[in-house]
Amino acid sequence: MPVIKPPRLTPGDLIGIVAPASPPASEDKVHAAVRYFEQRGFRVKLGPHIFARRGYLAGEDMERADDLNSMFADREVKAVFALRGGYGSPRLLELIDFKSIAAHPKIFVGFSDITALQLAVFKKTGLITFSGPMPAVEFCGKPDPFTETAFWSLVTDPSKGAPLNNPGEAPLQRWGKGSCVGRLLGGNLALVTSLLGTPFCPSFKKAVLVLEEVGEYPYRVDRMLFHLKNAQLFKDAAGILLGHFSGCDAKDKSAPQLTLDQILSDVFGPCAKPILSNLQYGHIERKLTLPIGARVRVDADARAITLLESPVT
């Protein structure tokens, strides 16, 4: 399937905001995000059900899917932002109009639980999407300057690729060796794991697999990583990038435990391919935005990641 690049954002464009997973912590965060985008010169359209609630979900499944489908079908909307992550995106996969998304390609931004939608969109349409900051998380206050610059440079500048550099105080760490080129695929570990075996999971063969996680016990991280290993994802991938595994340390220090580094060593130690960790990506304030589906080069020996193409036109 051909890869599709969305048109870049320019001032004056209309941005659509939807809530495909959990609801915002408060309506104030939504209004603050709207002000942020307007101050940057954009117009904003909110999904009709953005303030709906059903338990930990932002409304009924069909309401959330309808909002997402409608934003992609609206020719005036130039980018679609997921309000936040949380839970619920996988419930929408059978309700998404992928043909409409392919016919109306546009920038789609989200993170965490939105991984399910982004990987499914790439599988079904080939559209490059953006795993990055969200309105009710980073853009409802004063965003970290590194996070802000990393994001806007990707979605507004159609020039050919550039280094995907960590901030200077956070060097990449090498686990494997050598270099590779592949399409960047992945996101949240739990969501990648949950997509395996479904028709919405893309092939990771010759891809650069990126993973991050938050708030999971070490034994759960262990289980998910070994599930991916047993499913041959690490064998199939050309290279592997590990972001932050925030809050995934042992909660009960008195019980027998393995550290996260021990688990990662058990999983990736034997891999003879390019693997880098400490990528500034994950549930952290200061982070990169990653273009899911774009071609990148990973050089483990040089501890470098390079975006080989612009993800927008």
CA–CA dist 114, 197 (Å, integer):
18
With a CB cutoff of 8 Å and minimum separation 6, the contacts of 266 are: 222, 258
> How many helical (H) and strand (E) elements, i.e. helices and strands, does the chain have?
9, 13
Please confirm, yes or no, whether 31 is among the known catalytic residues: no
Catalytic pick from 212, 244, 277, 310? 212
Catalytic pick from 22, 277, 283, 310? 283
Catalytic pick from 112, 131, 277, 310? 112
Helix 218-230 to helix 260-268 angle (10° resolution) is 10
With a CB cutoff of 8 Å and minimum separation 6, the contacts of 77 are: 14, 15, 16, 45, 71, 106
Secondary structure (DSSP) of 140-175? TS---HHHHHHHHHHHH--SS--B-PPPTTS--EES
CA–CA dist 297, 305 (Å, integer):
6
Kindly report the number of other CB atoms within 10 A of residue 167's CB atom: 15
Please confirm, yes or no, whether 283 is among the known catalytic residues: yes
Asked whether the CA dihedral 45, 312, 7, 106 is positive or negative, the reply is negative
Single out the residue of 179, 8, 173, 167 nearest to residue 79, CA to CA: 8
Please confirm, yes or no, whether 212 is among the known catalytic residues: yes
Which are the catalytic amino acids? Answer: 112, 212, 283
